[in-house]
Structure formats: C-alpha cells, structure tokens
Structure 1
Amino acid sequence: MRRWHLGSFKTLLADALLIVLAWWLAFWLRFNFDVAEADVRLAWLTTPLAVLGMLAGLSLARVHRHAWRYVSLADLRRLAAGVAAGAVLTTALVMIGRLEGFARSVFPISALLALVLLAGARAAWRSLGEGRLAGHQAAPGRQPLLVAGTLQEADQALRTLKGAAHWQVAGIVSPRPEDAGRTVQGVPVLGTTTVLDQIAHVQQIGTVLVASPAGSGLRRELLMRWSGAGLSLLTLPAADEWLAAEGPNLRKVELADLLGREPVQLDEQGLHQLFAGQTVLVTGAGGSIGAELCRQAARFGAGRLVCLDVSEFAIYQLEQELAAGFPALQAEYLTANVRESARIEALMQACRPAVVLHAAAYKHVPLMEGANAIEALRTNVLGTLHVARAAGRAGAARFVLVSTDKAVNPTNVMGASKRLAEQVVQAVAAAFGDTQFVSVRFGNVLGSSGSVVPLFTAQIAQGGPVTVTHPDIVRYFMTIPEAAQLVLQAGLMGRSGQIYVLDMGEPVKIAELARMMIRLSGKPESDVPIVFTGLRPGEKLYEELLADGETTDATPHPKLRVARTTGAPEDGAAVAQAWIEAAGAAPDAAAVRAWLQSRVPEYRPRSAGS
C-alpha cells in the first residue's frame, strides 16, 4: 500500500510541474515571449489556482489511477476530459478573483498545452518502458515467434503478449498479400500465410501463434496446411484459462479451436434465478454431458446438487472434481439405476429437486443394435419415464431431457429409443401441469465418452490406422461446455412439451476430422493412414436435426429453435412401459425393431453397408 501511495504522489507531482509549465508557456505564447512585468505578476499570482483547478479536473476524471507505462487510447481520452474539466475550474477560480488586465486567451492556450505535455509525458514513458521490454525480450533464452493473422488480429495478439516471459515476436504473417511490408506496433509483416514455411525457414523459427479466432477458416487452413511440417502452432488461451494463469501462457491449437464457434450467449441472470439456492438433480452425472451439467449448475449457484449415476467409479471421480472446484457446494453423490422406478421415486421424494436434468442414456449406436436392443429401450425409454414421472410427483419446476439428432428419422435402435423417449416426456407433461417438461436435441460432442474423438486419439497414438466408416460420412459437432450451456438455456426458456433444436453450425466430414487430428498430433498424414471400413449397423451418412415435414419456430436465443412435431399418443407412456416390461429377458432383436417401428413410424432400420 505504501508503494502505491508513493507512486501516486510522484505522478501527482509530475502532473503539477507540467501544469505549471503549460501555464507559463501560455503567458509567453500569448504575449509573443515579451511578457510585461504586470503579466508576470499575474502569472505568479494565478499559478496556484491553475494547478489547483487542473488537478481537480484530472482527479474528477480519475486520471491519476492510470499507470503511465500502460497508457492507452482510452486513458488519453479520459485525460482530455480531465484537462477540459480542469480548464473550466481554472477559469472559474481565476475569474472569481476579478484580476484586472488578465488575458482570457491564456485559458484555452494553457489547456491545450497542458493536454500536449501531459499526454506527451505519458506516451514517452510508455515508449521508454516498451523499449526496455523489447531489449529484455531480445535477450538470450527468449523463444522467437511468428504471429499469423490479419493486422487487426495481430495487433490484439501483440498487446496480449506484452510482458510475456518466454516469447519474442519476430514478425507477422498475414493472409492478405497487400499487408506485406507494413508494420504493427513496430513488428514487420514478413509475407503471406501461403509461404509460411518459407518465412519460418528464413527466420529460423519453428513456432507460430495463430491469432485468428476459434472456428475461423484461416485457423483451419493453417492447421491443415502447415502442422506436421516442422511448425508448432499455438493459440491464445480461452477466457477461463486466463483466469487460472498468471500471464499469457500460449497453448497448442486444439480440435475445439478448429470446430468451435462464437461463444454461447446465455441469459446469465435468468439462469442464476433458476438455479440459485435451488436443489438440482442430474442423472447420468458421471458422463461427459452430465458432469458438465453439474459444473454449470454449480457455477450458477445451485443451493444443493444431487449427482446420480449407475457407475460407482464415475460418481467417485465427479465427487473428487467438484469438491476441489466448488468447495462450498452442498452436493450429494448417489449410485442408482434409472430403470429402477421405486429407487428413483424414493430419491426424488427425499431431495425434492426444483430442476431435473436427465442425461442418463445408452448412446452407442452399433452396441445398441442386435441383442442389446432391449437394453436401449429399458434405459432410454423406461428410464426416462421413471425419472420424468418421479420429477412430476416430487413437484419439480423443470425437467429437461437430453436428446439427440439421431432421434430424427432414425435408422438405428438408439435413435428410435430416444425419439420414443421424447414422446414419453410429452405424454408425462400432460399429466403434470405444474412441471415444465422440455427435450433438447443436439449432435456429437467433442471428447464425450464413447465418441469418435477419443477413439481417433488412441489410434493416432498407436501409429494408426485411423478407421473411418465412409469417406462421405458427416456429423454435427459442438464442445461439451457449449452443449451443456444450451441445454440449460433451453430448460430456462422452454414450455412444457417442447422439443428444442440446437444450432450445430456446419456439419464436418469425419474423414476431415481424422486428418485434423492427425495434424494436431504433429505427425504427417503419410505416417498415420486412414482406412475406410464401411457403414456399421444402424449408421447413416448424415444426421438431421428435424424429421421430414417438421418445421421450427424461432426463439429469442439465436442458437435455439423449437421443433414443431406431431403430438405424442396419449397412451404412449403406458403402452411403452407395458410392452417393454412384458418383453422378457432376451426378446428377439427383430421383434424389438418391429415394435419400435409401430411406435415411431419414421424409424427405418438400416443394416450394415446399406
């Protein structure tokens, strides 16, 4: 605290001396450097008033809080406002004295000179500090770095890297040929991204900071063209990583950076009101999506979090993570199977949640074909029915089912079971008017358990081959936090019985995804072959977010739309429960598929390779 006061006093003293200088210069300029003795007397007499008035104006504008070394355009604008206020106060103080013969033109001249001197001193101090920093960065041990991006992106990156402990920016590489030869903050533009390898070779630099935003075409182009070619591609950390770090620690470009989009805009206030102080129950809490839903609920201030999963190990891992990340969170960790209605009913009555987020499900398409088909129905349909009914009976305000794009025109048992689960939720909604029942569909989630990304990662680590079912197969992707946040947003906005569809952006070819991941590993594609194995049972080339004949209605949120679907049968829940419970321990898979077709008319089973 003592050092802060000393620094502030030095700044105040320097400003006062500059204001005195501006005031006397104004007199000299006003009288062409031929100041009469009477005017000198007036200058001496009014100098304290000028200093007092100007310092008061600067204080009103809080100028003295600025650190000279890091002065910015915003600081200079505030300085100008402070000088203007100071000029007005100085004029008032002097004019109150009614000094005879005082030249009023001194006021604007002194104000202009004060602005020039004060701003010039700050700019000079910052330039001196940056010069010292540049000299320090040029010292041995600092790693040279190229910045790739537009001039605007490079400018932002250079500002971020000021004070970085390990990096020295040697040049900029722009996607625009007309930028070559220009400079940004004194750093030259050495050429275009099309010759990045040549520039890096000439400069003897192996590290490139990609300054373009996540999901941009330039970032994808740089990865596909240059990673695996002896260049290490880095990016700036995300906002949450900044909070945990002490400085601008760069990290490697990740898959989410290439497929990501603009950050999700959430109704933060509404979500805080929904969760703050409330009991929230999450099923499937040990899974990728369920765990992220737990994190988000904790972030929005849930008063009590009930985490439920059938896996003891998964719920244990979640307990360890949340205890470390949210030490003040009141949480309960339960092992239970959503297929056991009595257990779910008892737990729901005991905790009486205000919000239920139902993420428990079987989701692996090929595994749920054949002999496991009945298991998909028991977990995805009966499990959903049990949780939804229990939530309604316990008086929950909101119930959200995590659904999938595979529920649209399904070609596999898993997708058909999730479509039937949506119908079950709509049927239950009609029986519990005080609970808002909402379903949310989205596509593949990067890095979720059982998804293609962990599989590709393991295959690449082993040197390949990377197995892709078909060269033309495409899927929608989003990150785990993005998916979870949009699920919460839909739960906040939704009205009972609605099915929400998430904006998944542009679909991605799985073969291109595999090539991206190979490049990200730092290996050339020639070292890790891609093998096409053919479509698996129930798999189709592309997924849809809406069924045939369906339309959507816009919502206030740009990434959420409401699907208009045909109403669920009134007896849908009861019929589904009766058939599944009567099916026995090992029903014929063909019989399961036939019954599913009778309940989900758009379901069209597809065999492998068809």
Structure 2
Amino acid sequence: MTYRRRFWLLIILDSVIVAAAVGGSVWLLGESAAPSSIMLLALSLFVLHHIFFLFYKLYKKAWEYASIGELVMIAKAAALTIGGTALLQWIAFGDMHVRLLTVIGMMHMMLIGGSRLVWRVVRGSFSRQSGKRKRTLIVGAGSAGTMLVRQLLNNSDTELYPVAFVDDDAYKQELDIMGVPVAGTVSQIVAKASQYKVDNIVIAIPSLSKKQLYNIYTECAKTNAKTQIIPKLEDLATGRIAVTQFRDVQVEDLLGREPVELDIESISEYVTRKVVLVTGAGGSIGSEVCRQIARFLPEKLVVLGHGENSIYAIEMELKEMYKDSGVKFYTEIADLQDADKMNAVMRKHKPHVVYHAAAHKHVPLMERNPEEAVKNNLIGTYNAARAASASGVSTFVMISTDKAVNPTSVMGATKRLAEMIIQHMDGVSQTKFVAVRFGNVLGSRGSVIPLFQKQIARGGPVTVTHPDMVRYFMTIPEASRLVIQAGALARGGEIFVLDMGEPVNITELAQNMIRMSGFAVEDIGIEYTGIRPGEKLYEEMLKDNEMMEKQVYPKIYIGKASEIHMEDIEGIMREYGRMEQTELRISLLKIANHVTAKPKLATISG
C-alpha cells in the first residue's frame, strides 16, 4: 500500500471512530443536550483529532512495527483533542459537558488504540505465516537476537522463520520473546535443533570472541542445520549492514583466537612517506603486504616479482585502490638469483624498508627439487640482503615459516638457513635485518584450504595425510600485519613469532569445511593418504631452548638465535650444483639443525 492510499484510509477510519465515539457516548449516557451543542462538540473533536494526529505524525507511522512510543503519542494526541474540545465548548456555551467528554475520551482512546493494534495483529498474522519458510534456531536472545526475530517475523519475504532461541542467560530461560521461546542453552543446541526440526541456525551475538564463536559453531556443526552468523557489531552500529544480512561461518572464524592488532603509530613512523620495496609481491603474502603498506601512504611502493602476470595484477589493483592517494607505484620484474639485477634495483629506488616475501614454500615439491629451494630460498635471500645492505636500506624484513624449527624438510631447512643469513647480515651491516616466522596461511596458494574447497566442490573425498596431523593457522591479512609490525619493532637480528594459539587438527578442519559447505561429512568423505616426505605431524614455532616468559608486545614473540657460521651456508650455495639430490637434502638438514651455541632470547607479547 502506498503512503497516500494509507494516509487517506487512516483519515477515513479515524473520522468514523470519532463519530462512533460521540454517538456511542451520547447513547450510553442518554445525553439530552441541545443538538447544536452536540454538533459543535463532534465537529471540534473531528478537527482537533486530525490536527493533533498530523502534528505528532501518527499517520506516517508503520503500525506493524508500533511500540510503546507510538502508544504514548496516541495518548497525548487524544488527551489534547479532548482538552481542546472542552475548551471550545466552554467558550461557546459556558459548559464543558465533563461527563460526556470523559466517556468520549475513553471510547476515543480505546477505538484508536484498538484499531492500530488490530492493524498490527492482522498484518503480523500474514507476515508470520511460516509456509515453506525454513525453521530457524536463533543463538542469542539479547538485543541483536531480538531485533533479528522481529525482522524475520515481520518480513514474509525472508526464507527464515524463527522457532526458538538458545541463550546461556539463566534469567531468560523458559521466557517467550515476541512469541518465540527461549528453549535452552548453547550446550543444548543439538537437542533443541532436533526437537524443533530446525533447518537453519543463526548465531546472533555480534560481540563474540573467536574462541566463543568456535565453541558455539562446534555445537552447531553436530546438527544437520546450516549455520550462519549475523554481521560484526561495528558493521551493525554504522548501519552499513542490516541484521538480516547473514554470512556463512568462515574458516578464519574458527581459529579460536583474536587477530593481532597493529601499533599504527609506530608503523607510520617508519613507512609513511618512505620508499618501500616488496619482493615476491605477486604472491599471496607479498600482495597483501603491498595492500596493507599502501594504507600508510608511503612515498613510493616498489612491487618486485618474477612472474609478470601476478605483478601486473597487483599493480593494477593498487593503482585503482589508491589512485588519489599520491602514492607512486613502481614494478620490477626480477629474478632474485640475479645478483646484478638486485643491486641495480636497490640502487635505482633506494628503499628505506624491504619486505622479502619471495620464496619456494611447497614442501613436497621442494623435496623433489632441493636445488631449486637452494636457488630461491638461500641464494635469492642472500642476494636480496646483500643488495639491501649495499644500498643503505634501513630495515629488511624476511618472511620465514614454522617449518624452519627443527626442520625435517628441504623447504624448512632452506628457510632456517635463510634466517641464519639474515642474522649474519645484521651483524655485518648497518641495516636492521629481522625474520618473521608464522604457521600456515589460510587461503594462500598451495595451502590446504583451497585444496579442500576444490575437493568438496567436486563431491569429495577430502584428502588428509594423517588423522593426527595438526597445524597452526592464520589469515593472509593477519600474516601481513605481523610482517609490517615486525619492521616497526626491529632492533636487528630478531626472529619474530606470532602467538598462534592452539594448533588446529586438520581432520577437524576438513570436517568443518564440509559442513560449512552444506554437506554431511559422510556424503563427502575423508580419505587418509599418508604423511608425505618432509612432513611432520606437529609443527613448532620456537625450539624449547628459545622460549622465554618475558613479553613486550601483544601476541608476538622474539627469539634471538644462536651464533651463525656462514662458511657452511656459503659452501652449500657454491657446491649444490655438483651434489646429488639426496646428498644435498641431507646436507641442508644437517646444517639447519646444527646448534653451536645456546640462543639468547627476548619475548614480546602483551
């Protein structure tokens, strides 16, 4: 119904109500006043009613959403209507007909309020028809959950129909909120989903911590219902997203810990209006580092990589996103193994900060091609570090991996030796060299998440190497923020490590991803393929003798590793081409696991 049609319908309805209130009151009281007096009284009520109802904008109210506020405004308008009529009666006839006006006022208020209530009930009864709508369990009976239920009940176009709440608040148990019962607690989700024949579950607690969300989703995943979540609290508060704009629970929601927050001020000091260079800028981490750095408005950002397509893509993206920022973007296609090219690039751009994200990282591939791991991860890092030192770079941040701790793979060994190169360079250069070590990155190229997604999309099975396999995980933006923060914290020679929280069981991760995709685990299936060469069941972030309790920055640790003997590393970089793959692999692991002195450590965390 349009506003104009609705307006005139209410005008006609209220005119009938005024006439009925006057006629009914006169009949009830057997009033014998002069007809002229009654006619003036009725006319006064009619005019003043519409004046005050227009003044309080009561004809613009959507009565299907009416609340106490609207009822109070009706009472005010009705009282003013009766009061104004009494005043006019006294002026015209010297008599206010107090008894008659009292009854008229009561009947007027009852009919007006009743008509709006009937409007709301009738409209609500149509919108509440469940029909083929999906029966939905709401987790959280707080303000967000109540708001969600109100909108679902009053909107017949949505496919979801709320049938029950669950909430851990003991004071809400067994209550009905807008006709929807609070049926139990979070621990009873499985039972209540079965009892109410639930098709969907919506988690309606926007302020949940990661750990709380993980615990709730774990219960929801035990049902056959699809689980969704309402938007974040900040999005709801700003009005950018409505409470009914649900999203699916994502893998990063299930990490079980809060993301690392940036120290914006310290980062701005060493990045803003400076020259920044990123190697491996076309990769998952490198490209995200570029996006994050661009937010701090460096003077220019140099994106360097070996693959022209990926470098072109990130260049176009950055130029579009920051076209009016004043940041200058430059691209360099370069092979890290080309020492002359790396020196030329550093001399040309003279960067203040270098983020070294270029590396080979796929464990099984590097097991079969150890010489390529040496070329990229060792020689490439060595060339980039020496070129940065020669050109006077202030800070050089290398991205490492948890696989560098007690490595059992070629990839892990070469990354550990790359850390040693960085720490050696810190001792012989004016540049501050640091490394950043973190676990698996969700959604990065070659990671398990995209593989699982493809396997689920084609109907399974999902392949897991071992039922007890566990890994630490973080998101691409979080990994990139850690890299950037490390540069601000750098004093030289540190290995920065994120507090990754609890490790994630890969089998449980696969099961959750299957359920989040709307399938049963039994339908897709999980197949165990056996541990691949170089893999470990458990990853470590620091060796036992690297751990200390002192903490100086939230969720970030620093380890200052042992004295490095570069002659072994330089020897293998010279001789790798003449070594058999097995011999090369053994040599890399031997050097990487060789400890010559007890490390000195400091820790940063909150």
TM-score of the two chains, using structure 1 as the length reference: 0.69
| 2:580 equivalent among 574, 580, 588 | 588
What are the Cα deviations for residues 440-460 of structure 1, in whole angstroms up to 9, with x where unaligned?
Answer: 111111111111111111111
| Structure 1 match to 2:199 | 206
- Could you tell me which amino acid in structure 2 is paired with residue 155 of structure 1? S
Which residue identity lines up with residue 393 of structure 2 in the other structure? A
Q: Indicate if the aligned counterparts of 2:224 and 2:520 stay in contact, CA closer than 8 A.
A: no
Q: Tell me the distance in 1 between the aligned counterparts of 2:461 and 2:537.
A: 21
Aligned counterpart, 1:105: none
What's 2:593 paired with?
A: 601
Number of residue equivalences: 470
How far the C-alpha of 1:550 sits from its partner, in A, is 2.0
What are the residue-to-residue correspondences of 1:135-214 with 2, within 5 Å?
A: 139=127, 146=136, 148-151=138-141, 154-158=142-146, 171-175=164-168, 179-182=172-175, 188-196=181-189, 199=192, 206-212=199-205
Moved more, 593-602 or 449-458: 593-602
Q: Specify which of 392, 399, 402 is matched with residue 399 of structure 2.
A: 402
Say if 2:413 is the partner of 1:416.
yes
Partner deviation per Cα, 1:193-215 (whole Å, 9 max, x = no partner): 45546655776763322135666
1:247 aligns with 2:247: no
From 214, 220, 226, the equivalent of 1:220 is: 214
Give the counterpart of 1:442 among 438, 442, 453. 438
Instruction: Tell me by how many angstroms 1:419 deviates.
Output: 0.5
Choose which of 522, 531, 537 in structure 2 pairs with 1:541. Answer: 537
Deviation at 1:281, TM superposition (A): 0.8
Q: Distance in 1 between matches of 2:583 and 2:239?
A: 54
5+ residue gaps in structure 2? 1-64, 68-115, 596-606
Question: Quick one: distance in 1 between partners of 2:135 and 2:273?
Answer: 48
User: Distance in 2 between the 1:459 and 1:193 partners?
Assistant: 32
Q: Are 2:361 and 1:363 aligned?
A: yes
Distance 1:602 1:523, change over 3 A: farther
Q: Structure 1 stretches of 5 or more lacking a match? A: 1-68, 72-127, 604-610
* Deviation string, structure 1 residues 406-430 (Cα, Å, up to 9, x no partner): 1000011110100100000011112
The alpha carbon displacement at 1:344 in A equals 1.2
Deviations 1:32-61 (A, max 9, x none): xxxxxxxxxxxxxxxxxxxxxxxxxxxxxx
SS at match of 2:276: strand
| Residue matched to 1:519 | 515
Give 2:600's aligned residue.
none
Indicate the residue corresponding to 1:341 in structure 2. Answer: 339
* Aligned Cα root-mean-square deviation (Å): 3.4
* Alignment partner of 1:508 is 2:501: no
| Contact 1:554–1:560 (Cα < 8 Å) also in 2 | no
- CA shift at 1:311, angstroms? 1.4
- Go from structure 1 to structure 2 and tell me whether the alpha carbon gap of 1:317 and 1:162 turns closer, same or farther (over 3 Å shift): farther
What letter is aligned with 2:343?
E
Could you say which residue in structure 2 is the equivalent of 1:232?
A: 226
Alignment-mate amino acid for residue 526 of structure 1: E
421-430 or 198-207, which moves further after superposition?
Answer: 198-207
SS at match of 1:552: coil
CA distance, structure 2, for counterparts of residue 161 and residue 563 of structure 1: 51
Equivalents in 1 of 2:446, 2:364: separation in Å? 11
Using the TM superposition, give the Cα deviation of residue 271 of structure 1 relative to its aligned residue in structure 2, in angstroms: 1.3
461 and 144 in structure 1: CA distance in 2 versus 1, 3 angstrom threshold: closer
Inter-CA distance 256–566: structure 2 relative to 1 (3 Å threshold): same
Q: What's the % identity of the aligned pairs?
A: 40
What aligned pairs does 1:16-35 form with structure 2 within 5 A after superposition? Answer: none
Residues 476 and 506, structure 1, Cα contact 8 Å, conserved in 2: yes
**Which position in structure 1 is the counterpart of 2:313?**
317
| Equivalent position of 1:559 in the other structure | 555
Equivalent pair of 2:166/2:184 in contact (CA under 8 Å): yes
CA contact (8 A) 1:440 1:500 kept: yes
- Give the counterpart letter for 2:227 in structure 1: L
Alpha-carbon distance between aligned partners in 2 of 1:375 and 1:576, rounded to the nearest angstrom: 15
More off after superposition, 546-555 vs 292-301: 546-555
**Larger displacement relative to structure 2 (254-263 or 531-540):** 254-263
Task: Single out whichever of 264-273 and 138-147 deviates more from structure 2.
Answer: 138-147
Query: Could you report, residue by residue, the CA deviation over 1:170-213 in whole angstroms, capped at 9, with x for unpaired residues?
Result: 64212467742236688642333455466557767633221356
Residue 515 of structure 1 deviates from its aligned partner by 0.7
**Contact 1:391-1:399 within 8 A present in 2 as well:** yes
Alpha carbons of structure 1 residues 177 and 555: separation in structure 2 relative to 1, 3 Å: closer
**Aligned partners of 1:169 and 1:326: how far apart in 2?**
44
Q: Say which one has the larger Rg.
A: 2
Q: Determine the C-alpha separation between the residues in 2 that align with 1:432 and 1:390.
A: 11
The corresponding residue for 2:475 is 479
For 1:514 and 1:352, the matched residues in 2 are separated by 46
* Partner deviation per Cα, 1:365-413 (whole Å, 9 max, x = no partner): 111113x101111111111111111112222211111111110000111
* Partner residue in 2 for 1:29: none
Partner of 2:385: 388
* Matched position secondary structure for 1:535: coil
**Aligned 8 A contact 1:227 1:522 in 2:** no
1:190 match: secondary structure: strand
Cα shift at 1:469: 0.9
Q: Equivalent residue for 1:118? A: none
**Offset, 1:549:** 2.2
Partner SS state of residue 548, structure 2: strand
Q: 1:557 to 1:134 in 2, by over 3 A?
A: farther
CA distance in 2, matches of 1:405, 1:195: 38
Give me the whole-angstrom Cα distance separating, in 1, the residues matched to 2:178 and 2:266. Answer: 42
- Once the 2 structures are TM-superposed, how far is the Cα of residue 565 of structure 1 from its aligned partner? 1.9
User: Distance between the aligned counterparts of 1:469 and 1:386, measured in 2?
Assistant: 36
Q: 1:582 to 1:321 in 2, by over 3 A?
A: same
Q: Displacement of 1:462 after TM fit?
A: 1.5
AA matched with 1:559? K
Aligned pair in 2 of structure 1 residues 228, 331: CA closer, same or farther (>3 Å)? farther
- Structure 1 residues 285, 237: CA separation in 2 closer, same or farther (over 3 Å shift)? farther
Q: Is the 8 A contact 1:476 1:543 kept in 2?
A: yes
Give deviations 1:497-541, integer Å, cap 9, x for gaps.
Answer: 111111000011111111111111110011011111111101111
